[in-house]
Amino acid sequence: SSKIRNVEVQSADGVAVLEDCIGISLTKTISKVEEKLKKGVLPDCEGDDIIPRAGNEMGAEAQIRFLKAKLRVTQEDLANVVFECRKKDDENQKLETRLKDTEEENTRLQRTISMQQSQTEKYKMLSQEAKKKSEGLQQEVTALEKVLQ
């Protein structure tokens, strides 16, 4: 299972940017897009619905503000997802620990059951031997009583 680790929050011109340990930088990506927008070279994004149709009438600065706001919302969603993933990972760790403890307890109880079953068998055999011995002694007593009469 892959985990997102070492998430840091950085600020780029008032925009919170998440940067993970792989080194993917949203700050750099934003800067490149801003440079293209300033030069007047808009990215070819007609079918992606990032900027609504009314956005085509917006100026470059308004589009940048819109994209930064959309980025903030996306980053908040990402932060929430990362938080939930970490929470689930913690819960999974606790459950794995509990499962391991339960399995160890189960193994211990199985050994105890096995030991007790072998002791039960041993005592049954001793009981049968004692019963046979008792019957033999009872027959001897009966035979001796007959001899005495």
Judge residue 18's burial from the number of C-beta atoms within 10 Å of its C-beta, 0-12 exposed, 13-18 middle, 19 or more buried.
buried
Q: Which residue has the higher pLDDT, 29 or 89?
A: 89
- In-domain check, residue 29: no
What mean pLDDT comes out for the span 15-34?
A: 59
Share of the chain above pLDDT 70, in %: 70
- In-domain check, residue 49: no
- In-domain check, residue 30: no
What mean pLDDT comes out for the span 51-80?
A: 82
pLDDT band of residue 84 (cuts 50, 70, 90) is very high
Q: What count of other Cβ atoms lies within 10 Å of the Cβ of residue 7?
A: 14
pLDDT band of residue 96 (cuts 50, 70, 90) is very high
- In-domain check, residue 79: yes
- In-domain check, residue 9: no
- In-domain check, residue 115: yes
- In-domain check, residue 98: yes
pLDDT band of residue 108 (cuts 50, 70, 90) is very high
Domain extent at residue 104: 58-129
Work out how many domains the chain is built from and give that number. Answer: 1
Closest CA to 68 of 37, 89, 45, 107: 37
- Residue 5 corresponds to which tokens in the numbers above? 């680790």
Q: Residue 103's pLDDT is what?
A: 98
Handedness of CA 73, 81, 31, 12 (dihedral sign): positive
Judged against a pLDDT cut of 60, whether residue 8 lies above it is answered with no
Q: Which residue has the higher pLDDT, 20 or 144?
A: 144
pLDDT band of residue 35 (cuts 50, 70, 90) is confident
- In-domain check, residue 36: no
Judged against a pLDDT cut of 70, whether residue 75 lies above it is answered with yes
